[in-house]
Structures are given as C-alpha cells and as structure tokens.
Structure 1
Amino acid sequence: MTTMTNPGVALVTGGNRGLGLATARRLGQEGLTVVIGARDPDRARAAVTQLRTAGVWASAVPLDVDDATSTTAAAERIRREHGRLDVLVNNAGILPEATATDAADPLDPDLFLRTFRTNVLGAVGVTQAVLPLLVRSDRGRVVNVSSRMGSLSDQLDPASPYHSLVVPAYQASKAALNGLTVALAKRLAGTRVKVNSVCPGWVRTDLGGPENRAAAPTPAEEAAEVVVRAALLDDTGPSGSFFDAAGPVPW
C-alpha cells in the first residue's frame, strides 16, 4: 500500500496522550497539519506545545466525543480555521472493565452503556459532524482504532492469543466499531473517502490502567505506524478493511 502526497489536515480524537499523541506526531512528520481533539484543555495545550517543539504544526479543539454539542462545535471550528479536513482518526476510547470494581459484573448494563457511548457512539458522532468536510476532500480518510479483541474470529479461535481475554463490553464495542467501518465504507463507495479499522496491538498506554502500561509490549510510537498507514492510503488502497501491522485481520 502506497501513501498519498500533499496529505492536508488531520483530526485525531483523544490526541493529547498515548497512542493518539504518537499518531498525531507521526502524521505531522508526514506533513499533515494536525488538530488534537481532547476534553481537557490543559492537556491539549501541553500536547500542542510538545508537537510544535518537535516541528509539527498542530492546534487543538475542545472535543468530548460523548457530547453532540461538543462534536458539532469542533467540526465547525475546523471548517472555520482550516477550511478542510482530509483525515479523521477515531482514536478516543475507554476500557472501564480494566478496574476490579467494573469487572465485578461483566454484564452490567451501565458498563456497556458507558463503553458504547464513547467507543461506538463517540466515533459515530464525530464522523457525522466532520463527514461533509471529508467528502469534499480529494482524499478523505477515516481510521477507526479498533482491536483484535473485537474480532469474532479471534475470540472463537483457541489458537489465538485473544481467545482467553474476556472483557465483554469492550470486545462488543470494538466489534460494533468494525461493523460501522464496513457499513460506512459501503455507504461512501461512490466517493473518494476510505474507511478502515486498524488494530495497533497491545499498546503501552494508560488505557486499562497502570498494569497495562507495565505489561504491554508495544510502545505507542511503534503502534502508531499502522494508524498512519491507514490514514495515508492512496487511491489504490482498501476501504472497509481491518488490518494490523502484519496485514489483514479476520472479522
């Protein structure tokens, strides 16, 4: 898969830390203007300062993916300040099941509601808000940061390292996000917009708490590469696909 030239403007949700920040940095290094979408304005400003110090042109917009008013305002601000959007990385996500309290009842409806609100409906809301900008772009790209924990094939395969993992709300949310990828890719088949899911692997970030940061084998900077690859696909690249660093992932 080759990458496009003159890549334009990218929005990274949850871009103030971890995988989101690493992705923003790499996109900036590829020449994109990066917009950090984050709930915490202080952390967003700190991320922008860090990126600009590294030579990346970056700015930030207040963005709470759980809040429709916030997503609409962020889209309007991007339109007003940049006049375009070429890449959307739906990176913001939560894993509340990582805490002992939340994991006590794996079928707690509130746990599912909270997880789906951010991981699925958050991606839906942000995508809907910026879609007019992406459709007007000559290379619109939507990258949904998913997980092999959302792969039904992996969950059913005893040989898969993901088979033994049981976090129902998170797994179901990522399976739903993958479903959104397929549906949106089909809906936008007549446009130049490409929509794909990627699995960055088990990433060394705060998602899942300090135990995850200690145990995860993949640095955020390395994990960001597959996200960037999907963000910079040229017109010959796939749409409606799911892949990780090694290649296609079974649904």
Structure 2
Amino acid sequence: MHYSFDFAQQVDYPSDPMQTGPIYFLTPRKCGLFGVCCEGMPQQVNYLTDEGMSSSKGSSAVINYMHQFFTNYGVGETRVDLNCDNCSGQNKNKFVLWYCAWRTMHMLYHSLDLHFLITGHTKFAPDWCFGLIKQRFRKTRVNTLSEMAGVVKKSTVTGVNIPQLVGLEDGMVLVESYGWQPHLTPYFRPLPQFKRYQHFSFDALEPAVVAKERSVRTRFQLLHNADILPPIDGLPVQAPPGLDKSRQTYIFEKIR
C-alpha cells in the first residue's frame, strides 16, 4: 500500500466567515492538522490536534500519528511505500528513520520504503485533501473541535476526508502519545550524511537500511548491536502538556 503524509497549516477557532472584526487581531484556540492519505482508495485520515494535546509539530508527533494510523486504519498490508516532504524537523530526521526500522525489525511489515520528495516538487495527495478542508472551513462557522471534525467530514461528498480527534478541549485523550525518542535512542545510531539521501529501504530480514542517492546505494547498520533489538512493547505514555495558566486566561477573557 502507498501512503503519503504531511502537516497542514493550523486553523483557529472559533471562526465565522461573516466576522472580520476585533477577533482578527487576537489569537483564538489553535487546531493542528496532520493527514495520512491512502492513495489506493483514495482516503485521508486527518488528525485534529487541539493546542492542549500537543506542543509541537516535531518528529514525536509524526511518529505517534503514523503509529496510530497503521494500528487502526491499516488495511492489512505487508509492503509499504511512504511519501513525505523534506522538512527535517518533522519528517527527515533520525527518529522517523529509526521508527521505520523498528516496524520492519518486529515483522510488522515485510518491507518498507521511505521516499522524500525532491525540493520544489512537494505538492502531492495530502495537499489536495487539505485544500478541500480549507475550502469548506472558510465557508463554515466553527465554534468547537467537534464542529471542526464535521467540517472535515463534510468537505467531500465521497468520504475522502476522515476526521480523527487527538483529544478533546477538556483534556480527554483519544490518541495516546508515546515517548518514542527515549525508547529508540539507546538501540540505534544515526545515519552519516543523512540529508543527502532521498530514498530509504527497510527489510524485515535484516536490521539495516539501504539509502539511495540517485543510482548509488549505501547499506548501513542502524543498530549499535545487531543481536539486540529495541523492545516492541513497554513504550512510555506521555501525558498531554495542556494549556498553561496565562493561555487559559487569555482564551477566557479575549475569546470566550
């Protein structure tokens, strides 16, 4: 199966297409948007993240969303192709690479190929789905996170966009966040000159990565010790950061 994933620019709510008054100069509640598109269907699962559920759009968030997607929305595939852009803070970093290796080492997939799109050519399927969501959002009054999920669901008549709430405004967690970085770091080592490569291949039969630069292939052992694999369970669960006191006061006094 072929999947593509990316972050979209966050949206703010409450939002009203008829209102351009004082709220224009304020900072409403933020909602992050991360999409994983299954290009064979096509359908895209869109993760709606309240600002109290996640404090960043880094590699930890990417891995958590992809892990939840594979667990709950996978179609039973054994061979996977992943496409994403070259943003080093989110996708193109050692932690995402280690997570792909972790999945194949534990036979969750027979093989996995990770492709980073060439700079300047990063418009792909998730951008199409995000465009449909933003188009609907600009025409709809949105006051809550659940109403934002309704915008995602109604953005297409064929059901291409599927909403998935990461958590609710009251702090209830719907998508668990795990400490992938401390879980993987003791077992893996970084790939030298990582950013020069665009294509990476992983196979369940060997704990190595094959990195490809144009037609030149490089094989590299990612594990410190090939006989010791990182455990498949025991992942530390991380509580959401929540909103600090000043942000809660601002939303209450200025937005509510």
Q: Which has the higher strand share?
A: 2
Fold equivalence (TM over 0.5):
no
TM-score, normalised with respect to structure 2: 0.30
The structure carrying a bigger helix percent of its residues is: 1
**TM-score normalised by structure 1 residue count:** 0.30
Query: Highest CA radius of gyration, 1 or 2?
Result: 2
